Structure 1
């Protein structure tokens, strides 16, 4: 339950005096994208059922529409989370830095990189995560179309979503310490139960209307607390480095 606890703490951390102003832009980006994703998924699910169901099976739409909508949410909401984090990455780093200073009394290691270079570096890190996501997401999505295996697809997708959520949000504080993506994966792999419960809670949060709007700033704050309290004395290196 450790990862769940960090997410619950994130709700309080994001509204701390001196921190809340850093949450506004990530919150706005997340709200706009999730509102768009919800409307698009509901519209697509309804139009798909209208197209696929014959008239004499219209009575089944009350059952199939919620199921199709929930399945779409697992894919669409998680994909929109990646997009939101990509767009908000520079602001997430500022939020994580401010909160780490609040929690520890010390800022992350100083970085004299100009702001425009720091922004490009942050976006490049987000792009690496996006490529990693696509590399695993495509075969997992194909499972939905294979009879028998498609029964496992929702569970596998949820597990993958939880892992990606942990990677996505921990990048904000860990990236401020110049920990690259491979090393972040290695570190989270060393605390698997905490990583999974943390990511699974955030994945579930994206499925709840209203709460999903808060998932981005809550996730960054929760990940920062996780990093501050669980990070090793020395930054971990990825295997082979």
Structure 2
């Protein structure tokens, strides 16, 4: 995947790169269960990130068990995330929205990232590598875009929102949801989420997970309204100050 690399340290694996294209913030993803991680593996990962000029490192969203391990090695809290799950038993009716939800393609990615930039704060915006990571995170994937139904003649319909979901076996994941601020509160976010949930239910998935920043109260309310239930403990992104290493 462009911009990210996987390194092996003995039996451990880590994914490394830039945090969403940020020039001074590195990104660290443990790909090995927390009980098998070692200080040597983590230190090698941090050295590689330091050599690339990153002055701080943020982790992927970590479980409570992973947080304990990383905290022992000097990582501190950056931001807490809500974790929610849906059992797909009862789904609301699809709302009527001023957009057409359909497949998103590789040529849509620039337009999708423009929506993402408008919808999220700078540190949480995706770039091309992190969008690719979200799309390829699971064996089965569902990349969808909501397009304006009122397009100009001869021009491609404007992308108003998008969602990325996927599943591995019977566990599904809503990886990303973004709606242009100009059309928020029109039901478009709900339509995109339900499109993903229906696809996963047809595929035999029996539970779907999603996470969102604790500060993102609007997203949290949307997920609860659609039947997601909070799961405790939640997740967290941790930070490491490279000046300490």
| TM category, shorter | under 0.3
More helix by share: 1
TM-score by length of structure 2 reads 0.24
